[in-house]
Copies of this chain bind each other. A is one copy, B any other.
Amino acid sequence: MISQTVTFLIKCPDAKGLVAKVTNFFYLNEFNILSCQQYVNSVQNTYFMRIRLNADGTGITKKELEERFAYLANPLHMTWSVHYGERKQRMAILVSHTSHCLYDLLERNKEGDLDCDIRLVISNHQKLKPIADMFGLPYHYLPVSKKTKGEQEQQMIELIEKNDIDLIVMARYMQILSSQFIEKYPERIINIHHSFLPAFQGANPYQRAYERGVKLIGATAHYATTDLDEGPIIEQGVERVTHESTPATLKRIGADIERLVLAKAVKCHLQNQIIVADNRAIVFPEAGE
């Protein structure tokens, strides 16, 4: 295998000796373990591990690695995935009217802070095309109405497939995706909701936050599932507000929370820090390798 960082994400029933067995396996296969993070859910007796390896100097091929690991994993009833660092993940961004999250992702990517390859921007409006232009990215305007929704999603799917997209980011895309669409990309669609979920699910969270008189507002990045705003939460943030904050002020303050929260969630996903179980996202912290 070429020199690269390899990440395994593992989930299985808890048992004695798991960490010893797994780390031994990689040790014997001559990997250097960069970091090894685990989490035991003692309520459900499940075990989770994220292990990062340096492939430098190993003679093993990917195929061999995966076959050998399966040999270890199967009797332990492991669900696992392996991620190779040699290829950047490919991203598509979905937007509507609001620009701040789009700017933020494009800028971070351009400055090298997101380790990914943003391939295209898709929108149901033309408004944000100049931003994609500024960053030299294709912008696909796919308008949508109740009637054309199925067709529009089909166009999106074609673009996603054609571009071999790994991750779809809804950067304030104000359309509800169909179950058919969502189910095609499990744990591969990240949405930013402009409230501190589960507070203010659904529409107009800032207006409702104003009316409820909350003293903090927030934003939530989560994987999209077929239950609207109920997918596994990856990251949340809040900011203090006061009675002086009008709905417009809340929206402005919220915009800064949204973009930070979305960027953090996307980064965690790109760095393979997340395992989902029972609609909860286990997000391992970035290891100080």
A residues with a Cβ closer than 8 A to B are: 16-20, 23-24, 26-27, 32-43, 99-100, 103, 107, 111, 113, 134-135, 196-200, 211-216, 218, 232-238, 240, 242-247, 249, 252, 256, 260, 279-283, 285-289
Q: Is the CB of A42 within 8 A of B246?
A: yes
CB contacts (< 8 Å) of A279 on chain B: these are 212-213
Q: Is the CB of B283 within 8 A of A242?
A: yes
Interface of A is mostly: mixed
Given A196-B199, A216-B238, verify A249-B24 contact (CB < 8 Å): no
Question: How many copies of the shown chain assemble into the complex?
Answer: 4
Given A20-B26, A111-B99, verify A213-B281 contact (CB < 8 Å): yes
Complex Cα–Cα for A212 and B220 (A): 12
Chain B residue, CB-CB nearest to A24:
B20
CB contacts (< 8 Å) of A18 on chain B: these are 33
CB contacts (< 8 Å) of A35 on chain B: these are 38, 40
Q: Is the CB of A287 within 8 A of B99?
A: no
Q: Is the CB of A214 within 8 A of B236?
A: yes
- Report the minimum CB–CB distance from A264 to chain B (whole Å): 9
Given A16-B32, A38-B35, A212-B198, verify A288-B243 contact (CB < 8 Å): yes
Given A99-B111, A111-B100, A238-B216, verify A286-B23 contact (CB < 8 Å): no
Chain B residue, CB-CB nearest to A38:
B36
CB contacts (< 8 Å) of A212 on chain B: these are 197-198, 233, 279-280
Chain B residue, CB-CB nearest to A23:
B20
Complex Cα–Cα for A32 and B18 (A): 10
- Report the minimum CB–CB distance from A203 to chain B (whole Å): 15
Sample of 10 more A-B contacts, CB < 8 Å, known A18-B33, A19-B33: A16-B32, A17-B33, A35-B38, A36-B36, A107-B107, A113-B252, A215-B234, A244-B288, A245-B288, A260-B260
Chain B residue, CB-CB nearest to A235:
B215
Complex Cα–Cα for A283 and B288 (A): 13
Q: Is the CB of A236 within 8 A of B260?
A: no
Complex Cα–Cα for A23 and B197 (A): 39
Chain B residue, CB-CB nearest to A200:
B198
Q: Is the CB of B235 within 8 A of A40?
A: no
Q: Is the CB of A287 within 8 A of B246?
A: no
